[in-house]
């Protein structure tokens, strides 16, 4: 990736942009999920985040932007010892986002389509131990539009990892969310200062609406 793209409209051109939807799952977003019941944190804002993501997803599909659905699978056999130790020290016994066996693993408020790209991860960072980087490079992706939850955990971890790998980073602030407003805002400030651009769904989709689709979205 040697192109130096300084303008937002060039960075998010559909031909080389991917929309990442990170961890929009019941355990992280829904009433009765892990964050709500076990961590006792407010997930009410996730519905607005899902609505904004759906706007971005619709615009991405119309413009031919590739969509990557990132989903956590935190079955015990995949967790590192320090994570298990942290859970044990906090008295956390409930399993989180177990593929195929729990409602918590299912998507919340969003509707992926067949033919789009899916990545399952076992760490906060969507690149760690996955084929995401290879998939992106195989499609000539230069820019990552990162959406989802939690802003200061999995979203920021993926943003940092993507930036270190040479991708342009764009985060629509209404398409990410966290149960701690201060940490959410701190992450956005961190991203804006060091890793990429912070925008909103309306501005982003306006750029995509004005771009000529170069291929069928997938």
The answer to whether residues 152 and 180 touch, using CB atoms and an 8 Å cutoff, is: yes
Q: Please confirm, yes or no, whether 189 is among the known catalytic residues.
A: no
Positive or negative: CA dihedral 97, 101, 106, 112? positive
| CA–CA distance, 214 with 47 (Å, rounded to integer) | 32
Q: Is 140 exposed, middle or buried (0-12, 13-18, 19+ CB in 10 A)?
A: exposed
Task: Mark whether 175 is an active-site residue.
Answer: no
DSSP-derived 3-state class of residue 44 = coil
CA 90 to each of CA 27, 39, 81, 83: distance values in angstroms, whole numbers, following the listed order: 18, 10, 14, 11
3-state secondary structure of 208: helix
Respond yes or no: is residue 121 known to be catalytic. yes
Q: Which of 29, 46, 154, 175 is catalytic?
A: 154
E strand residue ranges, the chain: 17-22, 66-72, 117-121, 143-149, 168-172, 176-177, 197-199
Q: Which of 27, 36, 46, 121 is catalytic?
A: 121
Q: How far is CA 5 from CA 53, 87, 89, 117, in A?
A: 25, 43, 46, 25
Task: List active site positions.
Answer: 23, 121, 154
């Amino acid at each position: 990736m040697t192109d130096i793209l300084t303008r937002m409209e060039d960075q998010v051109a559909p031909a080389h942009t991917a929309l990442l939807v990170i961890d929009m799952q019941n355990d992280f977003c829904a009433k009765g999920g892990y964050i709500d019941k076990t961590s006792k944190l407010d997930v009410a804002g996730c519905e607005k985040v899902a609505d904004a993501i759906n706007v971005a997803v619709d615009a991405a599909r119309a413009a031919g932007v590739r969509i990557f659905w990132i989903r956590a699978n935190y079955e015990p056999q995949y967790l590192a010892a320090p994570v298990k130790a942290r859970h044990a020290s906090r008295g956390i016994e409930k399993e989180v986002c177990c593929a195929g066996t729990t409602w918590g693993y299912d998507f919340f408020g969003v509707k992926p389509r067949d033919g789009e790209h899916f990545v399952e991860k076992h760490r906060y960072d969507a690149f760690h131990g996955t084929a995401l980087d290879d998939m992106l490079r195989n499609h000539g992706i230069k820019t990552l539009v990162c959406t989802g939850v939690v802003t200061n955990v999995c979203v920021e971890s993926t943003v940092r990892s993507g930036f270190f790998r040479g991708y342009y980073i764009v985060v629509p602030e209404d398409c990410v969310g966290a149960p701690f407003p201060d940490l959410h805002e701190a992450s956005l400030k961190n991203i804006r200062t060091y890793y990429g651009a912070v925008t909103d769904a309306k501005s982003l989709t306006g750029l995509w609406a004005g771009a000529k689709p170069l291929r069928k979205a997938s």
